[in-house]
A and B are shown apart, each in its own frame.
Chain A
Amino acid sequence: MSILETKNLKKYYGSHPNIVRALDGVTLEIEDGEFTAIVGTSGSGKSTLLHMLGGLDKPTEGQVFVGGKNISKLNEEKLTIFRRRRIGFIFQNYNLVPILNVYENIILPIELDGNKPDKSYIDKVISLLGLEEKLMNMPNNLSGGQQQRVAIARALATKPAIILADEPTGNLDTKTSQDVLGLIKETSNQFHQTVVMITHNEEIAQLADRTIQIEDGKIVGGRCKE
């Protein structure tokens, strides 16, 4: 069953004759529980694709279905609420809220939804990511790897349908990158999460179940793990 599906997705910037076709007719399907890597060079449109998948941006044309629901039709307010319930984001620059401590950052999406965190689940996520000792720390007081682990925990907190990761290891050294990637993979296995990750690093892409290669806003290739 495909949890995520796009149909002829297009995103154009600017106006004629200076049109930039960031995405130019992308159609893809991603299965539930799959770990997919989107690879491509800088400016290929992979980030734009991820933003469309997560409802951060709206397509010029085409549709995005998450769990069968066409999110391209939602208004901004509904899209935001959809995002916080169904999508978990992991950004290259972590994007933690600097005024909140680690624990508060993790549960923020749940609180914004007006819900109580599922304590045992959150504890499990925290322990899996090794953040037990850091819960009361402020983000600025953490290393890059630690911050990214907090971001992963935050992405998992709402038990979303999909986790979208935008170059999650882009700011990290090789050793830490390995740890973080391992954790993303492990948690997605553990909690049966669908993960879509952007990277320009072929090596990292190797870890994924499936790779989709994108160039000039179009899917130009890909492979599936045997």
Chain B
Amino acid sequence: MRLDGNNNRKVITHLAISSINNNGMRNFFIIITIALSVSLLMVMSLYTIGFEKSQQRNVSNMQHVIYEKVTDAQIKAIAEDNRVEMLLLYKFGQGMEVNNKMIQPVWFGKEAIKGDSSALRTMSIIEGKAPEKLNEIGVSRGFCKSIGIEPKIGITVSLNFLDGTTEEFVISGILDIVDKTKIYPILFSEDYSLKGSQLKNVSPDAIVRIHNAEDMSQNEFLEVIRDIANMSGVERKHVNANNYFVNTLSGGNRQAQQIVAIICIGIGILFVSVLVIYSVFYLSIISRIRQFGQLRTIGMTKKQIKGLITREGLLLSAMGIPIGLLIGGSIGYIIQKNGWDWKNTGIITIIVIVTEIITVLISIHKPARIASAISPIEAAKFSGYKTVDSKLTTQKLYRKLTPGNLAKISGTRNRKKTLLTMISLGIGGVLFMIATTLISSTSLEEYSRQGDFRFGEFVINLSHNAVTMAEHGLTDIQMDNPLNDKLRMNIEEIDGVNEVAIFEKAAINWEAHGEVEKGTITGFTQGEISGKLLESGTMDYEKMVEKNEILICNNSMMEEIYGWKYKLGDKVKLTFHNGKEDVEKEYTIVGFVSYKYYDSNPEAGWFLIPKEALHDIMNNINLTTEMVVSTEHSKQVQIEAKLQKIIDENPLLTMYTLREQKEIDEVDLTLNFGMILGLSLFIIGFSIINLVNTLITNVVTRKREFSIFQAIGMTNGQLMKMIQVEGLLLSFGNLIITLIVGVPVSYAVIQLLRYFGAGYMHFTFPLWFFLAYVVLIVMIPVIVSGAAQNNFKKQSLVERLRIND
């Protein structure tokens, strides 16, 4: 029988328990550290998994793909494809504006052509019944309110359609819709969809769900839906995949990025936890070296010492982990209620527990080895600082021995320990710096000013209604354009208006690669497109006018929609309607322009030709489609009122304001910042535990050393100063790391985000956050050192001098 193989587990466990009972402060730190890292891991994983889950829940009742404008033959073919699980038809009529709100005639098939559509979220009726007769409709409460009628079954409503006709309908049911947007759907009967003026000429769209689509990767899914389209004769451009659904499938960039980010953050948290738990245990073991020596002397084996320390670690985990699970679980539930799932939570809990136990075991492995490697004789001599790299001699005969200098000398005695503490503190500081830089560098103003608001605070467009209604669409309105010089001058006369930016475009039909589509074209001025904007090709303004040459903007979008891209030299046929006649012209593509061009011209589409040429073809009609008004900040309220009056007077115009945009964005940003700050507080929590632990251990383990100083004449004031300076050196080390590493890394993060399109971010040093951090990090050593010193003063100097005797 092996000596250490007998039944001594109880003794070791008993020793571990009594050791824990006798080290309140240390245990408190370790438990808090474990609880912190567990709750951080929990929150992060619950949030991410919950996000996926809530998306899955959302998409489980959604279509996978819509095949648009399908013919009867195509419907039959799609339904016969055995990969199709469900097929439901619906019609989407021409939208129109009523009282500044859009209304949208729709019809949904009562039953699916194939499969069961009952789970699909369409229009459900909360009161009355779905429309059946030709003159029955379903409407939402919001719609009734907007046109000033009571939302009751049986009420007659007359609707004025775009073509000028008026039809009367009876409300048969109220739709279950919360009208958040400006669009009100109106549900018509099947009869009306076949015979009614608004829907009979509209081709139906097919809502389709695919068998086992949830298990496919993004590419597989896209291949399947495109193949079904191909087999059924549906054109590629009429395949409208549900991107929201596609994003929940594996294999996407977004998912991969997210998983990588989560794993990186997770490893970061664990790394910091390892450092903190390690240093707490290391310091605790260093201070108990003599005790281990005694245990070894009376016959404890090395293995038993290791077992003792490991068991201490596990016992502390048993206390810290449940606390962390509870805190993390609660926070996770609160921030991601929609995605809460007991099974996922169970799995995450198990993974987090296992990870944390492994983390604790890794953290205490080295300290346990140090403790077990102590020989009884060595332990008796051990003075607490005779560790790894104690020097034999000094370089200098003599260093100035003021309390401050003594603190510095003390800091260098165990460089490894000092460095370790500083690094683990520094990591916290750097993460805090990055998090708060993200906040301080984000400008709400610029965030909201992406797009049209880049040029001003008020955007005035031609009414969608008006454009749709006109026979030749946009051109008809432009013939007598309300966005004219008179309007511009009227606006410019308003007190506080600085400038009115004008953007224009013209409607066209284009033909290329066998597609015939509607679109728009924009003119550019000489010198406007140059440098990096022109991604490839060459252009010469004059030659472009002469030789019917054209530029394509955002070519990659073509591939996404049509599956092909333009190449240099491709021909594209454009048909313009200039108010008098249709002009048909063939253009040669001579260059491709970056999508960044949209930043300087929000009305631009795919096609760009010289402005002169465009105006010439369009018979010099006013092509303005958007005016953006930039104003003095202090007068915006009055200006908005005046502009609103102008808009109200002209039914052809609509207006959007930066103020509304900012209100929407602020909600989003506040939520994000809240989460970033929450995360930072966790991180700072680690740093503080680490710092406080180091400071307290520093004092507690050196009681005797301090008593020597006092015996030979160091006053309490001098001692206090020495201890505080030692703590402050750690703080300053931490702050220096935070600045030297944190600032460049934060700067790089912001630049990276800018590169990926977050142009509203500008590196701004998070001064206030940093100052708060400085105060915290500087106050802690001062307070903790004072408290610790007061604590050890409870023992008399003589008693403390005897500690190691």
- B-binding residues in A (CB < 8 A): 51, 56-57, 76-77, 80-81, 83-85, 89, 91-93, 95-101, 103-104, 107-109, 111-113, 135-138, 140-141, 154, 158
Contacts and interface: CB of A to CB of B under 8 A. Distances in A.
Contacts of B393: 101, 136-138, 141
Contact of A136 (B397, B400, B798): B397
Contacts of B394: 101, 104, 136, 138
B722 to A, nearest CB: 10
Contact of B708 (A83, A97, A103, A135): A97
Which 7 residue pairs spanning A and B have beta carbons closest together? Answer: A84-B713, A111-B401, A101-B394, A95-B708, A136-B393, A141-B392, A80-B715
A217 to B, nearest CB: 15
Given A80-B713, A97-B705, A103 B398 contact: yes
A115 B304 CA distance: 53
A56 B797 contact: yes
A138 B715 CA distance: 24
B794 interface: no
7 contacts: A56-B798, A76-B716, A103-B397, A104-B398, A135-B397, A136-B394, A138-B390
A83 B714 CA distance: 9
A88 to B, nearest CB: 8
A101 B413 CA distance: 12
Nearest to A50: B798
Contacts of B386: 98, 140
A97 B716 CA distance: 17
B392 to A, nearest CB: 5
A107 B406 CA distance: 13
B371 to A, nearest CB: 21
B718 to A, nearest CB: 6
Contacts of B804: 93
A154 B712 contact: yes
A99 B398 CA distance: 12
A56 B712 CA distance: 10
Contacts of B709: 97, 108, 112
A112 B712 contact: yes
Contacts of B710: 80
Contacts of A107: 398, 401
A137 B392 contact: yes
Nearest to A117: B398
Nearest to B395: A136
Interface of B: 383, 385-386, 390-402, 406, 409-410, 413, 705, 708-718, 796-798, 801, 804-805
A112 B713 contact: yes
B716 A77 contact: yes
A80 B392 contact: no
Contact of B712 (A77, A98, A108, A137): A108
A95 to B, nearest CB: 4
Given A99-B409, A101-B394, 19 more contacts: A57-B796, A77-B716, A77-B717, A83-B713, A84-B714, A91-B801, A93-B804, A96-B708, A100-B401, A103-B398, A104-B399, A108-B712, A111-B400, A136-B393, A136-B395, A137-B392, A138-B390, A138-B391, A158-B713
A98 B397 contact: no
Contact of B801 (A56, A112, A154): A56
A107 B712 CA distance: 11
Instruction: With a 10 A CB-CB cut-off, give which of A91, A112, A141 has the most chain B CB atoms.
Output: A112
Given A98-B385, A99-B385, A109 B712 contact: yes
Given A57-B797, A77-B717, A99-B409, A84 B712 contact: yes
A61 to B, nearest CB: 17
A93 B805 contact: yes
Instruction: With a 10 A CB-CB cut-off, give which of A76, A77, A97 has the most chain B CB atoms.
Output: A97
A100 to B, nearest CB: 7
A154 B710 CA distance: 14
Contacts of A111: 400-402
A82 to B, nearest CB: 9
B401 A112 contact: yes
Contacts of B717: 77
Nearest to A141: B392
Contacts of B711: 56, 83, 89, 91, 95
Given A91-B801, A97-B709, A80 B716 contact: yes
Instruction: With a 10 A CB-CB cut-off, give which of A56, A93, A101, A135 has the most chain B CB atoms.
Output: A101
Given A83-B713, A93-B804, A111-B402, A98 B383 contact: yes
A80 B713 CA distance: 5
Nearest to B797: A56
B796 to A, nearest CB: 6
A57 B708 contact: no
Contacts of A158: 713
Instruction: With a 10 A CB-CB cut-off, give which of A57, A99, A138 has the most chain B CB atoms.
Output: A99
B415 to A, nearest CB: 12
A113 B804 CA distance: 27
A60 to B, nearest CB: 13
Contacts of A141: 392-393
Contacts of A91: 711, 801
B525 to A, nearest CB: 75
Nearest to B383: A98
Contacts of A103: 397-398
A112 B392 contact: no
Contacts of A92: 805
Nearest to B717: A77
A51 B712 CA distance: 12
A93 B391 CA distance: 21
Nearest to B397: A103
Contacts of B798: 51, 56-57
A120 B717 CA distance: 31
A192 B390 CA distance: 38
A97 B392 CA distance: 14
Contacts of A136: 393-397
A136 B394 CA distance: 5
A224 to B, nearest CB: 29
Contacts of B409: 99-100
Given A104-B398, A137-B392, A77 B708 contact: no
Nearest to A101: B394
Contacts of B708: 95-97
A151 to B, nearest CB: 10
